[in-house]
Amino acid sequence: MSPDTTVQAPTATLPRNGAAPQRDQPLVALVGNPNAGKSTLFNAFTGARQHVGNWPGKTVDVKTGTVRWDGRPVTLVDLPGAYSLSAHSLEEVIARDFILEERPDVAIVVVDATNLERNLYLVVQVMELGVPVAIALNMMDQAEAEGTVIDVARLSQLLGVPVVPTVGTRRQGLADLLHKALTEARPQPRPVDYGLEAERELARLEPQVAALAPLGSPRHLALKLLEGDKEAMRALGDSSAADALRREAAAAAERIRSVYGDDAVLLIADRRYGYVHGLAHQVVRRSRGQQRSLTDRIDDVVASRLLGLPIFFGLMALVFKLTADASAPFVDWVDVLFNDVLARWAAAGLTGLAAPSWIISLAVDGVLAGVGGVLTFLPVLLVLYFCLAVLEDSGYMARAAFVMDRAMHALGLHGKSFIPLIVGFGCNVPGILATRTLEHRRDRILTGLLVPLMSCAARLPVYVIFAAAFFPRHTTAVIFSLYLLGIALAVVSGLVFQRTLFAHQRESLFVLELPPYRLPTLRGLLTHMWRHSQEFVVKAGTVILAASIIVWALLNLPVGARPEESLFGRGAGAVAPAFEPLGFGNWEATGALTTGLVAKEVVVSTMSVIYVGGERAGEPEPVDIAGDVRRVVLGLGQATLDAAKVVLSLFPGVNLLGDQPVEADTALGQALQRHFTPLSAAAFLVFVLLYAPCVATLAALRAEFGGRWAAFSFFYLLALAWLAGFVTYQVGGWLVGG
Amino acid sequence: MLRQLLALFQQTPGPVSLELLAAQLDVDPATLQGMLGELVRMGRLVRVEDHTAGCSLCGFKNGCPYLLTTGGVYYALPGSVGCAVVPPAPHEAP
């Protein structure tokens, strides 16, 4: 066997005349699953002597070439890769039609020896087409390296077709394959026994099919008719005999359904899989020392029932510790940049331009205090998203979802809700939109009601500022506890809703494809980190900027009024008494919570405008630009050094920080310490975690489930937040007092 | 095999990874993937890959910061697994 030097490839557009073709040289078709090495084998056979064309009317490539065997040229056709011949994809239709219409002298099914069982499913279907079949057991070297031993002779004996081990990349076994294919292959159209009932029906149909369609395999066409294959039905033609056969096939399919309780198409595929499973068991042996993949071995630990949850919570605690500690030096630096340096520069610059005092106040106390107050927490989000990107890009997050979902299910929540709930940790809006993947409306509504209890990233700046100000030694624990509280209340709420508002829906299995573990790349991590944080920056420049200006305006109207007498102060003060039992019944806190309905970050910007902006009244301070720039640059260097110390100190036995707690010491944090106690701060944090969703989330709830459910969510969460805040403050006070 | 798999979809609640289910059914994960694909083609299961398919109105659709990267998830379509409960099939030797 050698590649032909004079290429006599058939035309690229292959004939489809429906009649048995007359050929002056043998025709061999290569069939196989995608990635079974079919094209490698084809290239090894034909070398450069091949031609690529399209199947008539289709855009799928069909390659043809010529190879010389026993002194004669042989045409080789590389058909599109297909997993089955069920004609559900263009590739499957082309592969099937080529074999049926061109009737090749032999079809060589290229089988991936490392995935024998899956590939055998196609083999039996090709055999049923009634053409001679040979099997190229390709990638044998890989299979052997993996410790898989295939009894080739037994496989050949059981199937009744030649089976030749090959390694396409090394051209091993090609000559033997072609020789056996062209000399030993015989049609074996009945590899699978479809069971008593189906075989009885097939026996009735096959003679009628043979009479109507003499070409091709009657058994194949009869099977297709039982499956209700529309193309097979059409292929019978328009005669009265064809109509009678179609009616007979439909009646046969119904009889099978009545016996087996399911469609014939399922029964047929089921028997094929049963056959190839038994076949694989008889011919495949895996050595005991066969190496399991690294992914499997890691999954044995991180996705196990026993260790999965502790590992998940341990990793998340580490993420929050890194987030809170490593970002703290940068938070301080950004705070100095906005609330000190830029504020003084803006005030001095506008004063120099003789701007009216209200413009200066708007710029410094409104815009810079508000937007700057929120952007101060950009480092927090950057570190958080970097850590999450590591978990995501490594493939762990998919396992985390899997592990968490099992826990949720164990607690009675609907298993399929896990993706919307996990997505909700980033932002509640896409979390609610992701409920569309649930098929039942009741599941969608139930999950949608729980998504706002997942603490979205917008609430993180509030946690960080309060935790650093009031619990500097336990920042990580406080933040982590808030996330856990949200999850716990989602579980409780879910259980309550299932027993009251929604009848319990029996759920079914669903199967997750988990991606393999991989080493994240720095470029990928940085891209993820920036994409995740981008929205935060965009929001700071739009929603938060607008909210800060409005809050500033309401705080300064009527002109000259004291803040508590302003429109904002009086409005917020009207509802403040309702929060007295929660420990923060003042207009500043309730005002910030009210504006936080726009977006949860606005809680911080509003407090920043009230507390930080309000404290800056008076003459602008002198500006030393060179000194400020030096301070900013040196501050960034110091922040980087401090952050590195924090990260290194996470390693066991390393302590570069001494006994000092790592905390963000911002202007807003200092102001808050004068207006809250640790207990009222804790109650405030719990309230922020749980209270009514932001307007974007409410709009998503309304769009997805209607106004009544959106209103229910609003009032339910408001009541839950008030109750949880009340319990935190009162029980906490009792415990501290006690 | 396929009917056994569909029966599992009906009888077993909650999630399972492809690898675990393959071990449970004593088949290779690749074979199980083929079986699931066949059931998808038959219209008995659905495979969801884009879990935020509902986010068409979102400005961040092409760079969604909150998209959870999982592989595909196979769900049973409503009413598609409600046929006869099938006991596990014995290995069928050819």
Q: Which chain B residues are within 8 Å of A271, Cβ to Cβ?
A: 92
What residues in chain B have per-residue pLDDT under 50? 52-67, 81-94
Residue A706 has pLDDT above 50, yes or no: yes
Q: Give the model's confidence band at A335: pLDDT under 50 very low, under 70 low, under 90 confident, else very high.
A: confident
Q: CB–CB of A509 and B15 under 8 A? A: yes
Q: Is B63 on the interface with A (CB under 8 A)?
A: yes
Q: Which residues contact A395 (CB under 8 A, 6 or more apart)?
A: A295, A514, A515, A516, A517, A518
Residue B18 lies in a domain: yes
3-state secondary structure of A106: strand
Residue window 22-41, chain B: list those with CB within 8 Å of chain A: 27-28, 30-31, 33-38, 41
Residue window 112-131, chain A: list those with CB within 8 Å of chain B: 115, 117-118, 121
Residue A8 has pLDDT above 60, yes or no: no
Secondary structure letter of residue A136 according to DSSP: E
Q: Which chain B residues are within 8 Å of A121, Cβ to Cβ?
A: 31, 34, 38
Q: Contact A383/A479 with Cβ under 8 angstroms?
A: no
Q: What pLDDT does residue B89 have? A: 33
Task: Tell me the ipTM for this assembly.
Answer: 0.75
Q: What pLDDT does residue A690 have? A: 95
More reliable by pLDDT, A401 or A464: A464
Q: What is the 3-state secondary structure (H, E, C) of chain B?
A: CHHHHHHHHHHCCEEEEHHHHHHHHCCCHHHHHHHHHHHHHCCCEEEECCCCCCCCCCCCHHHCCCCCCCCCEEEECCCCCCCCCCCCCCCCCC
Burial (CB < 10 A; 0-12, 13-18, 19+), residue A730, is middle
pLDDT tens for each residue of A520-567: 888 888 887 887 777 778 878 888 888 888 888 888 888 878 888 889
Using CA atoms, how far residue A715 sits from A144, A482, A586, A709, A721, in Å, is 64, 21, 22, 10, 10
Q: Is A267 on the interface with B (CB under 8 A)?
A: yes
Residue B90 lies in a domain: no
What is the Cα A27 distance to its own chain's centre?
Answer: 45
Burial (CB < 10 A; 0-12, 13-18, 19+), residue A450, is buried
Q: Give the model's confidence band at A154: pLDDT under 50 very low, under 70 low, under 90 confident, else very high.
A: very high
Domains of chain A: 2-183 (3.40.50.300), 196-286 (1.10.287.1770)
Residue B48 lies in a domain: yes
More reliable by pLDDT, A51 or A400: A400
Query: Looking at the partner chain, which of B14, B33, B35 has a beta carbon nearest the beta carbon of A415?
Result: B14
Q: Is B88 on the interface with A (CB under 8 A)?
A: no
Q: What pLDDT does residue A54 have? A: 56
Average confidence (pLDDT) over A82-88: 81
Q: CB–CB of A415 and B13 under 8 A? A: yes
Residue B57 lies in a domain: yes
Residue A2 has pLDDT above 70, yes or no: no
Indicate which CATH number applies to the domain containing B44: 1.10.10
Q: CB–CB of B94 and A282 under 8 A? A: yes
User: CA Rg, chain A, in Å?
Assistant: 36
Average confidence (pLDDT) over A308-314: 88
Q: What pLDDT does residue A9 have? A: 33
Q: Chain A residue closest to B71 (CA)?
A: A513
3-state secondary structure of A290: coil
Residue B71 lies in a domain: yes
Q: What pLDDT does residue A157 have? A: 92
How close A400 comes to chain B (CA, Å)?
A: 10
**Cα torsion at A448, A449, A451, A454 (round to 10°)?**
180
Q: What pLDDT does residue A11 have? A: 34
| Percent of chain A scoring above 90 in pLDDT | 26
User: What are the DSSP E strand ranges found in A249-295?
Assistant: 284-286
Residue B94 lies in a domain: no
Amino acid at A504: H
Q: Is A419 on the interface with B (CB under 8 A)?
A: yes
Q: What is the domain count for chain B?
A: 1
Q: What pLDDT does residue A325 have? A: 85
Residue B12 lies in a domain: yes
Average confidence (pLDDT) over A622-626: 83
pLDDT tens for each residue of A420-453: 787 788 778 877 877 776 767 877 888 899 999 9
Q: What pLDDT does residue B63 have? A: 44
pLDDT tens for each residue of A479-512: 999 999 998 998 889 888 878 877 655 556 677 7
Q: What pLDDT does residue A16 have? A: 39
Interface A:B, Cβ pairs < 8 A? 213
Q: Which domain holds residue B24?
A: 2-76
Tell me the C-alpha distance between A249 and A222, whole Å.
Answer: 8
Q: Is A303 on the interface with B (CB under 8 A)?
A: yes
Residue window 183-212, chain A: list those with CB within 8 Å of chain B: 191
Residue B45 lies in a domain: yes
More reliable by pLDDT, A296 or A20: A296
Tell me the C-alpha distance between A470 and A734, whole Å.
Answer: 19
Q: CB–CB of B51 and A423 under 8 A? A: yes
